[in-house]
Chains A and B, each alone.
Chain A
Amino acid sequence: MTEEKQYASFMERIRAGEKIEATDWMPIEYRKLLIKLIHMHAVSEIMGAYPEKEWVPRAPSLRRKLAIMAKVQDEMGHGQLLLRVVEDLSAPLGRTREELVSDIYHGKVKFHNVFHMEARTWADAGVIGWLVDGAAIINQASLLETSYGPYARVLKRICAEESFHMQHGENIILALAMGTDAQRQSLQTALDYWWESLLFFFGPQEVTPAAKQMMHYQIRLKTNEELRQKFLDKYVPRIQSLGLTIPDLSLRYDDSQKKWRYQAPDWHKFSQIVTQNKGPKSEERMLLRKKAHEDQQWVREAMRNHNISISSAL
């Protein structure tokens, strides 16, 4: 079959809603878009473990300690599942786990803006668990229908585990909202700090060429703005019901347009954070990943060496 015919029958399958599998023929553009998206997703899970990891040693009760450990562990686990999907996609390009991880601290892969930010208080950890995860869940749920089978299957598992994360985050927030004045104040401060990041999380309002192509291939099915609107739909009423003030006086629901009107985040500032790794915590957390990966290469090698010695002994 010529490349053109292969492409035509591939697009036929996409349009028919069929799932594409790792071993199927796919246009290189499709493969690269998938790698870009899922690599960023995987790395965001792994880097997303760090802000909350900082609060694992300080969690204020035994139950919270266990829960936040389990949650951070799940993030790492999601990173693992997603990395496996990228690894299979990248294998024909000769790329492996070692590189896909070192890409993080070589600045070759981006991760979500929220994970470049500081987690300064326990309330920040709570807001991350509630709203950052909330935003991530909306994003991930929108990808469940993606055209790439292995990604869809892994997302199904991830979303199932996110349902625990949702409850975990809400539980922390509810305790703070029902707590002392100082606790409520710290919750408000956390919301003030995170709000802009949360709006930026979904990405620019305009549909970029890459996003357009992802929709063409049905890798993604919803635009950034559609997802941001869904987030606002779900969370604005809940935030307000807790008596918290959203730090955006212009925020309102436009009945005629059936849309939320909001003060746009500082697109430029956050783009810099994501593309240049210039957030308050970018460098520190990338260094953590580098130490974990590069400084412990000897451990991974030792485990392999052992393997060789055993097989040669047989």
Chain B
Amino acid sequence: MNNINDLRYREVLIECLYQMADDKLLLGHRDSEWLGCCPDIEGDVAFSSIAQDEVGHATFYYQLLHQLGEDDPDRLAFGRDASKWRNCMLVERENDDWTYSITRHLFFDQFDQIRLQAMCTSSYEPLQHGVKKMIREEYYHLLHMKTWFKQLGRAGGVATQKLQQAIEKLWPDVNGMFSFAGIEEDLLRFELIQLTPTEMRVKWEAEMKALFQQANMSWPGEFPQLKHDGRKGEHSAALKTLLLTMGEVYQSEPSAKW
């Protein structure tokens, strides 16, 4: 029913893949900045595996994009102007303390799990195939983040205060994850995805509310309206700095093999 030769189908699929790929690469990149700097050595090793998984997933999406006629994956990752990036703002923000990174990751992983589950029967088979694999890998991420979150929340004292601050700082970015920048209806129509953004957010809220309760954390309430939508290419200065760093070597000789 859904034809890859249908111009609009292709367009929507490509846009959606950029959103997913860019989310993952930036989150993985931010995670990797923690290398050697986590609160304990064992945790450092565990967190790095998660970072690698994220970059690995991004690579998968960029490969799908390349198969659909977009640039080669490395050029997409290292040679693209900030305005072309389709990630949500949440993942591009600079790292802060450990509670911020854990909470951001938790928020994103929960969203990602819902988004992936809504794509398990996606009409684009290569995507469906990869999504099923990724869901399996993401299980550990969510488990790990939930464990951190619960323990930090229940600890009391400085940790809980900082966790509270992290939640407040992240809250304005939550809504941005659920933006599909106008392609949501077509995604549904083409059966690329099975849920509307609102349905996804309802699921997310239910999961997170239960977790907040277990962690003894209070729910901050309504999500503020989006000021800038990363999915529409509206980004912060943090992304531009990140991209300059990430592309530094690649862009010193873009035609070279590295």
A binding-site residues for B, Cβ under 8 Å = 46, 49-50, 53, 55-66, 69-70, 72-73, 76-77, 79-80, 83, 101, 122, 172, 175-176, 178-180, 182-183, 288-289, 291-292, 296, 298-303, 305-306, 309-310
Contact = CB atoms under 8 A, between A and B. Distances in A.
Given A101-B41, A122-B249, A298-B162, 6 more contacts: A59-B249, A60-B74, A63-B59, A66-B55, A69-B35, A302-B152
Contacts of B33: 56-57
Contact of B36 (A53, A60, A65, A180): A53
A73 B257 contact: no
B238 interface: no
A292 B38 contact: yes
Question: Interface size for chain B: under 10, 10 to 19, 20 to 34, or 35 or more residues?
Answer: 35 or more
A302 B41 CA distance: 16
B257 A56 contact: no
A302 B98 CA distance: 12
Given A61-B250, A73-B48, A309-B154, A56 B40 contact: no
A72 B48 contact: yes
Interface in B16-66: 29, 32-33, 35-42, 44-45, 48-49, 51-52, 55-56, 58-59, 62
A150 to B, nearest CB: 17
The B contact surface, by secondary structure, is helix
A292 B155 contact: no
B258 to A, nearest CB: 4
Contacts of B250: 60-61
Contacts of A179: 253, 256-258
Interface of B: 29, 32-33, 35-42, 44-45, 48-49, 51-52, 55-56, 58-59, 62, 73-74, 77-78, 98, 150-152, 154-160, 162, 242, 245-246, 248-250, 252-253, 256-258
A72 B29 CA distance: 14
A289 to B, nearest CB: 8
A300 to B, nearest CB: 6
Contacts of B257: 175, 178-179
Contacts of A299: 39-40, 98, 152, 159
Contact of B253 (A178, A182, A289): A182
Contacts of B78: 60-61
| Nearest 9 CB-CB pairings of A with B | A302-B159, A302-B155, A299-B39, A73-B48, A60-B258, A296-B39, A60-B249, A60-B250, A306-B151
A46 B248 contact: no
B159 A69 contact: no
A180 B256 CA distance: 7
B157 A305 contact: yes
Given A60-B78, A76-B45, A292 B62 contact: no
B42 A80 contact: yes
B165 to A, nearest CB: 13
B62 A62 contact: yes
A69 B41 contact: no
